[in-house]
Amino acid sequence: MADLTLYLNEEDKQAFDELSDDLKDGWEVKDETFKYLERPEELKMRSLMFRAEDAILVNVLEEARTAKSAEEVHGVFKKLQSLPQSVALEAFFTLGANGLSSLITAILNSAKTDDDLQGVSELSMIRHALLETNMEVSSSFY
């Protein structure tokens, strides 16, 4: 495994704590300290800026927004993993930190393997970077 660090917020930590000790073994949990979520108008602007040329990505983003069950969320996650990196990054930016938080929590709630947690690790690092950027942008405007 490349990185064993999980940046988890309180809701994520509750889900992580419910996992088996064997599955949690070896993972370092760091507190997600950044709290700068995107405002609804920012997410709307991102979705308007989003290049909707890729029908597959449009469908994946819609599935991410409407996923209700753990199986649906896992399906979305697997599809996001299969996208080219530049397309996936655009999807993560469009979803925002709040959307990524929903994915992370849902995956943690159904995690069964280290591969699931590796996916959570990757998503939590992306969310962490988005939150850090949101903080920097927010502090430069206010």
Q: Which of 47, 98, 109 shows the shortest CA–CA distance to 74?
A: 109
At residue 1, the pLDDT reads: 44
Given a cut of 60, whether residue 123 has pLDDT beyond it is yes
Task: Look up residue 25 and give its DSSP letter.
Answer: T
Residues 6+ positions from 29 with CB-CB distance below 8 Å: 5, 6, 8, 13, 16
Domain count of the chain?
1
1-41 tens-digit pLDDT: 456 899 999 999 999 999 999 999 999 999 998 887 788 88
Q: At what angle do helices 114-141 and 70-82 cross, to 10 degrees?
A: 80
H or E element: which one contains 124? helix 114-141
60-103 tens-digit pLDDT: 777 877 777 777 877 887 887 888 888 788 888 888 888 889 88
What is the domain range of residue 66? 5-141
Residue with the larger pLDDT of the pair 55 and 10: 10
At residue 31, the pLDDT reads: 95
Indicate yes or no: pTM above 0.85. no
